[in-house]
Structure formats: C-alpha cells, structure tokens
Structure 1
Amino acid sequence: MYDVTIVGAGIVGTFIARELSKYNLNILLVEKENDVSKGATRANSAIVHGGYDAKPGTLMAKLNARGNALFDKVSKELEIPFERIGSFVLATNKEEMDTIDELYDRGMENGIPSMEILTGDEIREMEKNISKNVIGGLHAKTAGIVGPWELAIALTENSMENGVELKLNTEVKDIEKNEDNYKIKTNNEDIDTKYIINCAGIYADKINNMVSKNAFTITPRRGEYYVLDKDCGVEFINKVIFQSPTKLGKGVLLVPTVHGNLLVGPNAENIDDKEGTQTTYDGLRFIKQISNKSSENIPFRENIRTFAGLRAQASTNDFIIEESRDAKGFINVAGIKSPGLSASPAIAEYVIDIFKNIKKDLELKEKFNPIRKSPIVFMNLEDDEKNKLIKKDEKYGRIICRCEMITEAEIVEAINRAPQARTVDAIKRKVRPGAGRCQGGFCGPRIVEILARELNISPEEVLKDNNNSNILVGKTDKGNGGNMDA
C-alpha cells in the first residue's frame, strides 16, 4: 500500500513528487509513457513568465508570481539550465499600447517587480532585429528561459534519490474508490494507495471522471514551432519577444533557448485529438506570417526542425488545484496550461498545503537531500579538465554527436543514471545528441549501437521514442552482395 500515488510525470507531477519526498511517505509516481516529460513538458516555449499576464485573483496569477521567484533556488539545487533574460510584449498601434498599459497595471496588481514601459526606439536599442513598426512595449526583467525536460528529469532523479518509486509504461485504466483508499487498475497491475494526486495533463479530466461526478473538461490546444539553428539564437534575439496577446493566447513569439537555438511559435488551435502532436502546413505558414509582425528578417532558412505540443485548456479557464468534493483524498492538479511551467514550483507548494489538511500527521524527513549534481557536460569543460576525464575514461575521448560535441561517456551515463534513458530520444532529452543541426543524421546509428550494447538488447529492439517506434526491423542482403541493417 502506497501512501500517495501521483499520476503523470510531467513538470508538475515531478515537482510534486520532489516536494512530497521531503516527508516520511511511501510515494509512487506513475507515467503511461516510457519516459518522463513526454507530454506538454517536452513541447512548449520553455519560458518562465514574468507574471503580469494572468488575471489578478486567479490561481494562475498567484502561482506564476510565486513560481517565478522560486526558480533561482530550484535551478541551483538541481543544477539545470535557467537564465533570467527578461521579456518584451510588443505593440504596433495605439490599441495594442492600451493593452500594454493594461498588462502593466495587471502586473502591478499581481505584485510583479521590475517592469517598465518603453518606446519602440528604446526597445530597438536593446533588440536590433525588432520590427520598425513597433511603437512601444512592456519590459519585464524577471522573465526567463529554462530547459523544461531537463528540469523534469532532474526533479525525478532527486525524488528517486529521496525514496520516490517511478513506474513507467503504466497507464491508469480505472480507479476503484474504497472506504479509506483507492485501487488503481493499470495495464500492468493493480496499485493500492491511500491518496491520489492527478497530474495527468490533457488526460486529467479522464482520470478525474473515474472517481468523481464533478466533471470538468480538458481541451487539447495545439501549438506548433520552428527551431532555428544555434547560428541564430542570441545573435538574433536576446530576450523573450511576445506580441500583444489575444483571446487564444500570447501570440507568436521569439524565444532564445538555454542551449542557444531560437524558437518561433506557437500558433493556437483547439483540437479533439489528445494525441494530435503532428505539425501542419497551415499552422507553420501562419507562424511565418504572424511572426513578421515582431521582426521582418527572421532567418527561417536556418530552421533545423519543427514540432508541435498540446496545452491543457480547462473548461474553468484557470488552474484546477483542489481535493475532489466527492472523492476524499483525491487531489486534482489539472488545466495546467501556460503559465504552468512558470508556476510549477509554486503549484507543488500549493498541493502540499492541501495535502497537509488531508493528512495532518505529516512528518519531515531528517535526511532529505535537495541537491542533485548534474551530469558532466564535456563541451563546457576547459581543455585540462577534458584531458583528465579522457585519461580516466577513454569513452570521453570519443565524440558521438559532432553538432553538440557529446561524448560516448555522457551517453552511457544517461542510459545508466536514473531515470534510465532507454530510447534514442530519451538520451536526446538528457544529454542532447541529435539536437543539433543534423538532427541525428550522423550520431543516430552510433546511439542505437550504444543503447543495444548497454541495455543488452538487439539493435532491432532499440526504440526512437514511443513504444513500437523501432528504428531497425531486420536485415537485407541487397547491395553489392553485403548485408545492411534496414
């Protein structure tokens, strides 16, 4: 019998797992996918919002402001990439400048520090590539960028070090509500637990409806993105660039990533398919057209990939974070769309406060360890440090990914370090081979070889990402009489 089972290992579920691991509890984190951070956490704008946008009085406003302030401490403890680069919201006409004034007033009411309204010329002094049509904007200095999947992986690792159990490939099929506990029926086994925390993202409504008559709905809202090469990055834009917001969201934006790329997007399209993460011609064309409002010379010729993610749009238009009224001990954490990433550390605190009112005898651990040491990033080391590592382990001397300068030793560590990376894309999320200009064209086959060797499986069993995404399916005898993997 577990004390607490958390359903969903995205950024919110993993933050809550880490926060709960501070207490003497038997905690289980379950995820239907074969890795953590594979939902909205994997495909988003990677922004820590300043907090001026959310409507005052909402959970979004309260938790964004608090969450933003927590990121310095969290990123230091977990050694994950985070930078406070600031953001602009741009206006190109008087009506949009009125919106800028409203955002400033809203930010003041939300208690957001370090905001100012600037003219177009003042903005272009800081960002040379901003459109000549911009007449002014809001500058929020506390906004930042983060590596969202790196953060979720680090949170999971730190949670597991502090006693949390992780079960992947475990999909909740039904939940049986008993007098004082729950039986979670999964594709693998039945799980007995006293309490459940529902962090299932776009499936949170489905999980809630297994135990509660108080229904809500989650609508998938698809957003598509371009990823531009590192030659762009901070050379083109230094801050997060928003357009004046609309009813559907914060508009198409320009975002330098913590790894030096440039994101352009997203659009916003409500869809019915909760697995609809494909990109579309119309969506990507829309992003190109609308992004020109921020800058006329975005170098789309440097695009190295496109992707799409799904945001969880709740019927309540606010975060849903509460104990179910008709299912005691069942806590919903749902509708966590933007600014969900920004609010995530504060959401975890908020959930713990709710949980303390349910389980009043919580005891803190004496030996909770908040520190997680990051893996070695070989390319960031000085030459003498690199030479020492190579002498210690020759695998550091073998570069597998030339775009990102990732060594074999880093890939091996990613495979063997919890949460274990068992697919090509899981390794990409952990240490970035395949994230560069060639998108795995050169390093992909070597990564397959290393995975097969380290996991003691055949190359045909190696997956790209999702289950059944086998890269190799057999051998062919065609071509010059020799054998080739197919």
Structure 2
Amino acid sequence: MYDVIIIGAGVSGAAAARELSRYKLNICVLERDEDVCCGTSKANSGIVHSGYDAEPGSLMAELNVKGCEQMEVLSKELDFAYKNTGSLTVSTTEEGPQALQKLYERGVKNGVKGLRILNREEVHEMEPNLSDEVNAALYAPTAGIVCPFGLNIAMAENAFTNGVEFKFDTEVKNIRKLENGFSIETSKGTYETKYIVNAAGVYADVFHNMVSEKKLHITPRKGEYMLLDKSAGKHVNATIFALPNKFGKGVLVTQTAHGNLLVGPTATDLEDKEGVNTTAEGLGEVREKSQYTVKDIPFRKVITSFAGLRAVEDGMDFVIGEAEDAPGFIDCAGIASPGLTSSPAIGARIAEIIKEKLQPEENPDFDPVRKGIKNPAALSLEERNELIKKEPAYGNIICRCEMISEGEILDAIRRPLGAKSLDGVKRRTRAGMGRCQAGFCSPKTMEILHRELGIPMEEITKAGGESKLIEGTNKNLAEEGADHE
C-alpha cells in the first residue's frame, strides 16, 4: 500500500509530488498518457500572472500571488526558462480607466506589489506597437513568462530523483473506498493507497464523484492559440492583456520564454473533455480580437496553431482540500488559469494537508536542485568547442530551426523520466518547435529514439498511444519501395 497516490502528472500533480518528496513517504504518480505534461499543462499561455485578477479572499488569489513570488527562485533551483517581463492590461474605451482602477484596487487587496496605472503617453512609450485606441493600462511588474513544459518536467524529474514513482500509460478506471484508504483500478492493474491527490485536470470531477456524494462539476474551456516565428518575438516586450470579462483574461499577446510571439486564447465552453481541435472560427477570433490591443501583428509569420483545455469548476475557484465525506481523498481540482503560476504554492498546500494527516519524518536525502539539459548555445565559443571535443554529439545539429544537437536529444532520452516519443523530445529540447515544425528533423530524431530505446522504427510515436508515424514492418516497406521501382 502506498502512502499517497497522485492522479495526474500535469503541473499540479508534479508540484505536489515534489513537495511530498521532502518527506519519508511511499508516493506514486499515475498518468494515463506516455509522459508528464500531456494535458492542460502543455497547451497554455505560459504566463506568470501577478495576481490582480482573482477575487480577493479566494484560494485562487492567495495561491496566485504566492506562486508568482516563488517562480524566479524556483526557476534557478530547477533550471527552467523564466523571464520577468511584466504585464500590461490595456484600456481602449472611455470607461476602461475606471475598470483599470478597480483591478488596481483588487490587486492591492490581493497583495500584488508594484502595480501602477499608466496614462496614454506612458503606455505607448513602453510598448510602441499597442493599438492607437489604447488610452491607459495597469502595469504589473511582477508578472512574467515561463516555459510550461520546462516547469512541469523539472518538478517531475526532481520528484522522481527524490524517490517518487511514476507510472505512465496507466489510466484510472475506478476508485473504491477501503477501510483504511482506497483501491484504484487502472488499465494496468490495481493499486492501494492511504491517500489520493486528485490532480486530474478536466477529469478531476469524474474521480471526485466516484467517492463523494457532494458532487463537483468541471467545464472544459477551450482556448485556441497562434504561435509566430521568433523573428516576430520582439513585437511586444511585456504581456499585453485586454480587460478581463466573465470568460477570463481575453486574447493576449506575449513573448514566450524562448522568444516566439504567442497570440490567444479564445474561451469556448465544451462538454467534450478531449476537444483540443483548432477551428477556422476560433483562429479568426484570435486574429480579430488581438488587434484591438496590439497593431500590425505579423500573422504571416504564424508557424503553428494549437488548442488547450482549462478545467473550470462551477464555483470559479480552485478546489483544494479533503472531500468532506471521503477522508483521505484530497482534491486538487478546478485548476484553471492562473494554475500554472500557482502550481508551486498548490504543491505546498497539498503537502501541508498530508503532512498534518500522516505526520511523516523529513526526507534527509531530499535534494531541491535539478540541472536541466545542457544548452551549447548558451556557452562561449571556447566552452562550446571544449564540450564538442569531449562529447562530439553536441556538434551534430539535428534540428536546424532551433539549432538542437544530438547531444541534447540524447540527454532528453537518457535523463530521469526521459523522452520516449517525438513530442517528448520536443518538449524537453525544442527540437521540432521551429519554423519547419519538425519537417526536417523528425526522421533523424526517430533514428536516435530507435537506437537509444531499442524499439523498432514502426513502434516510435509522435505522442504515445496509437500516434505511430510509420505504417507496416520494415520488410513491407522495403517491398513497397521495390514495387515502385
């Protein structure tokens, strides 16, 4: 029997796993997909929100501000990409400045530091590409941008090296109460545990409702995005928000942590918990609404589009705590925006709840530091040459768009919780995220996966499951080639 089983290896589950690994506990993370960061956590804006938007006194407001305050220190401890860029929430109407004043007052109540309201001249001097209609803005200097994959993977790797087990391709089918815990039936057998942390994103209500009569309801809210080439990345410096409405913070324009320009998201409530397709209507809305706040966005430089789902609970707040009628079942549900920002504080909150229940000893071997994949591009020419001399794979460029070497891909595969698919490599190294969107580097990356993992080429997937890239056996492929000749 485990002490704690966490359902879901997204950013909240990984944060909880890392914080719980500070203690002598037997912990396991169950994830239905082939890797960490495969759900909500992989498809979002990557914004570190300052915390002025959430309702004062809400759990969302408290954990947003705490998470924002921790992010820079955490990025150095766990070695993931983060930049403190600040954000601007802009007004384009006569009534807008009054709405900005209300947001400012809310932010002050929430404990956000450094908020200022800027007039037309100040804001246009700060961001020359703002729409001509922008007449004022709320400046939040504590906001920033983060690599969502980097944050999620870093916390999971650190949890793993501190003793947490991860079981992938393991889908939870049913949960039953036991006298002293729970039995979790999965696609790969049954597990027993004293405590469950329900960090299952848009499916958190499904698992909660298996054990509790006090039902939860989560609505998947789809957001569609357009990602532009790095040559468009300097179009804005800070993150630019429109004034928020009942569906959230609206369509934003921002740099990413790696220098692209990101525009989106939409906000469409769905019933389908797998509805991550993009639509012509949604992307048209992204294009149209973004131009209310930022002018001359070079949409000809779009290199890809994508959609993600936010888990919106009916109460419009995070649901974190023990279910009243299911002792030992800890919800971490409704983690919509600003869930990414809040994740370090969410993990700490979950750990405090379980620490109070189990009174565990501290783990004397806990190491909070994790080192990321070597980045030759960040080295001086002399240091890079020395690295290549020692490890020649770092001199073999596989992804030309992002200048990612074979050495980096090997590290991504060999490291703790290493990559097993093309998307796993992409999220860890950015190989395939550039202008050609993996058009050139996929075959070479597949060859490396084939060699390192010892699996046939036709078994290599884009993103696990049935997403295979080659149909048929090597023999059949050879015969087809001969027939064509």
Please name the residue that 2:462 is paired with.
464
Displaced runs of 4 or more, over 4 A: 476-483
CA-CA distance at 1:353 after TM superposition: 2.1
Partners in 2 of 1:189 and 1:389 — Cα distance? 45
Note the alpha carbon deviations across 1:185-242, whole angstroms, 9 max, x for none.
Answer: 1000110111100000000001111111111111100000000000011x21100000
Partners in 2 of 1:458 and 1:276 — Cα distance? 31
Partners in 1 of 2:188 and 2:353 — Cα distance? 30
Partners in 2 of 1:388 and 1:109 — Cα distance? 53
- Does the aligned pair in 2 maintain the 1:378–1:405 contact within 8 Å? no
Partners in 2 of 1:180 and 1:480 — Cα distance? 63
Partners in 2 of 1:420 and 1:482 — Cα distance? 38
Partners in 2 of 1:375 and 1:287 — Cα distance? 34
SS of the aligned residue for 2:409 comes to helix
- Does the aligned pair in 2 maintain the 1:462–1:471 contact within 8 Å? yes
SS of the aligned residue for 1:139 comes to strand
In 2 relative to 1, CA 479–195 (structure 1 residues): closer, same or farther, beyond 3 Å? Answer: closer
Please name the residue that 2:270 is paired with.
271
SS of the aligned residue for 1:411 comes to helix
Please tell me the residue identity of whatever aligns with 1:283: G
Please tell me the residue identity of whatever aligns with 1:349: A
Number of residues paired by the alignment?
Answer: 481
Please tell me the residue identity of whatever aligns with 1:292: Q
Answering whether residue 156 of structure 2 is matched by residue 152 of structure 1, we say no
Please name the residue that 1:187 is paired with.
187
**RMSD between aligned residues:** 1.2
Please tell me the residue identity of whatever aligns with 1:82: Y
SS of the aligned residue for 2:231 comes to coil
Please name the residue that 1:165 is paired with.
165
Partners in 1 of 2:480 and 2:357 — Cα distance? 66
Please tell me the residue identity of whatever aligns with 2:328: G
Partners in 1 of 2:296 and 2:482 — Cα distance? 48
Please tell me the residue identity of whatever aligns with 1:4: V
Please tell me the residue identity of whatever aligns with 2:124: R
SS of the aligned residue for 2:40 comes to coil
Partners in 1 of 2:63 and 2:392 — Cα distance? 47
Q: After superposition, where does 1:60-75 map in structure 2 within 5 Å?
A: 60-75=60-75
Partners in 2 of 1:17 and 1:342 — Cα distance? 17
Please name the residue that 2:439 is paired with.
441
Of stretches 307-316 and 409-418 in structure 1, the one that deviates more from structure 2 is 409-418
- Does the aligned pair in 2 maintain the 1:224–1:279 contact within 8 Å? yes
Please tell me the residue identity of whatever aligns with 1:426: G
TM-score (normalizing by structure 1):
0.97
Please tell me the residue identity of whatever aligns with 1:223: G
Note the alpha carbon deviations across 1:229-280, whole angstroms, 9 max, x for none.
Answer: 00011x2110000001111110100010010001000000001110110000
Note the alpha carbon deviations across 1:36-58, whole angstroms, 9 max, x for none.
Answer: 01111100000010100000010
- Does the aligned pair in 1 maintain the 2:253–2:294 contact within 8 Å? no
Please name the residue that 1:96 is paired with.
96
Partners in 1 of 2:437 and 2:376 — Cα distance? 19
Please name the residue that 2:260 is paired with.
261
Please name the residue that 1:352 is paired with.
351
Q: After superposition, where does 1:15-414 map in structure 2 within 5 Å?
A: 15-233=15-233, 235-359=234-358, 361-414=359-412
- Does the aligned pair in 2 maintain the 1:412–1:450 contact within 8 Å? yes
Partners in 2 of 1:381 and 1:278 — Cα distance? 39
CA-CA distance at 1:457 after TM superposition: 1.2
Partners in 1 of 2:282 and 2:479 — Cα distance? 42
CA-CA distance at 1:298 after TM superposition: 0.4
- Does the aligned pair in 2 maintain the 1:229–1:437 contact within 8 Å? yes
Please tell me the residue identity of whatever aligns with 2:467: S
CA-CA distance at 1:365 after TM superposition: 1.3
Partners in 2 of 1:481 and 1:380 — Cα distance? 48
Structure 1: tracts of 5 or more residues without a match: none
Partners in 1 of 2:305 and 2:336 — Cα distance? 21
CA-CA distance at 1:98 after TM superposition: 1.5
CA-CA distance at 1:440 after TM superposition: 0.6
SS of the aligned residue for 2:41 comes to coil
Note the alpha carbon deviations across 1:97-153, whole angstroms, 9 max, x for none.
Answer: 211111000001111101100012211111110011100010000001001111111
Partners in 2 of 1:344 and 1:243 — Cα distance? 24
- Does the aligned pair in 2 maintain the 1:320–1:332 contact within 8 Å? yes
Which of 420, 423, 427 pairs up with 2:421?
423
CA-CA distance at 1:390 after TM superposition: 1.4
- Does the aligned pair in 1 maintain the 2:90–2:137 contact within 8 Å? yes
SS of the aligned residue for 1:351 comes to helix
Partners in 2 of 1:255 and 1:89 — Cα distance? 12
Note the alpha carbon deviations across 1:12-63, whole angstroms, 9 max, x for none.
Answer: 1000000000001011011010000111110000001010000001001111
Partners in 2 of 1:67 and 1:140 — Cα distance? 15
Note the alpha carbon deviations across 1:381-407, whole angstroms, 9 max, x for none.
Answer: 211111112111221121000111111
Please tell me the residue identity of whatever aligns with 2:430: R
Partners in 2 of 1:148 and 1:51 — Cα distance? 18
Structure 2: tracts of 5 or more residues without a match: none
TM-score (normalizing by structure 2):
0.97
CA-CA distance at 1:296 after TM superposition: 2.2
Note the alpha carbon deviations across 1:51-84, whole angstroms, 9 max, x for none.
Answer: 0000001001111111111112211110111111
Partners in 2 of 1:266 and 1:141 — Cα distance? 22
Please tell me the residue identity of whatever aligns with 2:267: A
CA-CA distance at 1:476 after TM superposition: 5.9
Partners in 2 of 1:125 and 1:16 — Cα distance? 42
SS of the aligned residue for 1:108 comes to helix
SS of the aligned residue for 1:153 comes to helix
Please tell me the residue identity of whatever aligns with 1:217: H
SS of the aligned residue for 2:95 comes to helix
Of stretches 382-391 and 442-451 in structure 1, the one that deviates more from structure 2 is 382-391
Please tell me the residue identity of whatever aligns with 1:350: R
Please tell me the residue identity of whatever aligns with 2:201: G
- Does the aligned pair in 1 maintain the 2:18–2:155 contact within 8 Å? yes
CA-CA distance at 1:355 after TM superposition: 1.7
